[in-house]
Amino acid sequence: MLPLPGRRRGLLALSAFALLALPSASAADTPPTPDCTYKVAGVCDPLYGSAPATTRTVQVDEEFDLSSGLEPPIPYTQPILPNCGPGSTATCIYWSLGWLVQPSAGPSPVQQLSGCTANTPTCRIRYSPRAIGDAGDFYTPIVASLNRGQTPNTQKAWFIYARPRFRRVGVTGTGGIDYPARNAYAVRGGTNPTYAQCIDGATINATSPTTGYDCVRVAGVRTTGQNPTWSFVLPAQSGTWDLIMDPVQRTESGPTRVAGHRWQTRAVNVTNNDIAQTVAATPRGTLTAAIDLGGPTIQMGTSRIIKVTGTAVGGVVDRAEFVGQVAGKTGSAIDRLDYLDDTKGTLLPGESIVGRMTMKAASFIPGVPTSTVSAKVWWASPTSPFSDTSVNAPPATITVVRDPVPPPPPGAVAPSPSRRSRLPRRRRASPAAWPTSR
């Protein structure tokens, strides 16, 4: 094939087509009509930029044929001018048919299957764009040109477009600067899969299946001084998905739709556009603390297990724990408080952690028989990876006694101190029975 003049190297066999991005309004159900079939350095080419064109919408990885319908009036091998060549002042020129090629910055989405070469009227291709979301809303122009010598004579062009199979759903937190960026889940509407059934969103690419799963898990991203963000890749036109942001996950076998979330949930309708959402941080809870000494008294020389309870109020509480720390002890009646064990973890409102200690009264001091005891429970503030916040349980008082205090028998009722005891009255004899004097 003859080269084109100047900067145009010619109409060559298919290699890499240009990828022309659609304008921002193109992130829609149908692609717009492009205004130029071929550009050079961003400028519409005067020879090939105005070819009659149609837009052809296909599926990702679809194979199809393009037929130029262009044929020269004489064979390609026959000179257009009959009297040319050796012994003539006329230069021989020929008809030629080529498929216009324009290099692209990345891998071409067009794969040549058959044809697409010089003087071939048809071109069979596979169209395989690999972009996701609005970034995949581009078209690829293909131009077939029938040339008389070096001059285009008749042209036909196509804008090939494949709607992306996935759309991006970006979520940005608000009101939670420097909060942890934990996992979030997109759950298909009408389903309630377990955490173990969720697929990793990082594994989804342009050729991944769009069905066969009802939950996508993504990890959040946080930069110091910023709110966390999450980015989902969800099948286009897949309907409603519920975004469950940083839920309180107990087990992998548990359902994804749980009561506690550290961020607001959102429902999104995934169509053919990328989606941007914001979610606000939910109020974080605190702990209230209480200490149970097991009764008001303890016998000298005995031990007892006491309990310290921390209960969540007002929201989710992270890293709740009792570290065996006594907040305060007055008096010398209790001489030992030893840590025994505790539960810990993340709590929903109304849930509790319990710590246990062993209390020992080794001796009896008549002058100071009582002791007052308190203890701390801890939890993590929203921006801390550690349990850095604490509260004291209200102090509780216990008295050491020398002798055991037996419990009342079952069903017994203690007498009221204000009620007078009634002794049995002796029956008085009648006058007839009185003795007579002699």
Are 64 and 137 members of one domain?
Answer: yes
Residue 202 has a pLDDT of 94
Residue 74 resides in a domain: yes
Whether residue 191 is predicted with pLDDT greater than 50 in this model: the reply is yes
The residue that leads in pLDDT, 381 or 16, is 381
Residues 325 and 251 both lie in one domain: no
The domain that holds 344 is classified in CATH as 2.60.40.10
Domain interval for residue 290? 286-401
Q: Where do the DSSP E strands lie in 136-201?
A: 138-148, 151-162, 166-174, 183-188, 199-200
pLDDT at 436 over 80: no
pLDDT at 246: 95
Stronger pLDDT, 106 or 337, i.e. the higher one: 337
Same domain, 82 and 175: no
Tell which of 280, 315, 345 closes a domain.
Answer: 280
| Alpha-carbon span 120 to 19, nearest angstrom | 23
Mean pLDDT of 398-411: 71
Count of domains observed in the chain: 3
163 vs 277, higher pLDDT: 277
Mean per-residue pLDDT over the chain, rounded:
83
* Residue 280 in this model has a pLDDT that exceeds 90: yes
Q: Is the pLDDT of residue 431 over 90?
A: no
Do both 392 and 309 map to the same domain? Answer: yes
Please give the average per-residue pLDDT across 215-221, as a whole number: 97
Mean pLDDT throughout 319-325?
A: 88
Residue 297 counted as domain residue: yes
Whether residue 180 is found in the same domain as residue 196? yes
User: Does residue 263 sit in the same domain as residue 199?
Assistant: yes
The encoded tokens of residue 420 equal 């007078």
Is there a domain that residue 7 lies in?
no
**Strand pairing of 317-321 and 345-347?**
antiparallel
Please indicate, yes or no, whether residues 336 and 302 belong to a single structural domain of this protein.
Answer: yes
What is the C-alpha to C-alpha distance for residues 9 and 120, in angstroms, rounded to an integer? 19
Domain end position, chosen among 128, 162, 196: 162
Residue 29: is its pLDDT beyond 60? no
pLDDT at 413: 54
418 pLDDT exceeds 80? no
Token readout for 242 is 């519920």
Over residues 348-399, the pLDDT tens digits come to 999 999 999 998 887 667 777 888 888 999 999 999 999 999 999 999 998 8
Residues 108 and 225 both lie in one domain: no
Cβ-contact 11, 147 below 8 angstroms = yes
pLDDT for 95 equals 95
Q: How confident is the model at residue 10 (pLDDT cuts 50, 70, 90)?
A: very low
Q: Is residue 154 part of a domain?
A: yes
Quick check: 149 pLDDT over 50? Answer: yes
The arithmetic mean of pLDDT across residues 303-307, rounded, is 92
Asked if residue 133 and residue 72 are part of one domain, the reply reads yes
Same domain (yes/no): 273, 312: no
Strand order in the sheet with 286-292: 286-292, 303-313, 352-360, 336-342
Considering the domain boundaries, does residue 9 fall inside one? no
Using the predicted structure, report yes or no on whether residue 401 has a pLDDT greater than 50.
yes
249 inside domain: yes
Query: For residues 345 and 318, is the Cβ–Cβ distance under 8 A?
Result: no
Are 157 and 24 found together in one domain?
yes
For position 260, which CATH number holds?
Answer: 2.60.40
Percent of the residues in the chain that have a pLDDT greater than 90, as a whole number: 54
Per-residue pLDDT band for 18 (boundaries 50, 70, 90) equals: very low
408 falls within a domain: no
Which among 250, 280, 310 is the end of a domain? 280
Same domain, 256 and 275: yes
Question: 319 versus 250: which is more confidently predicted?
Answer: 319
CA atoms of 432 and 437, how far apart (whole Å): 13
Q: Are the CB atoms for 407 and 369 separated by under 8 Å?
A: no
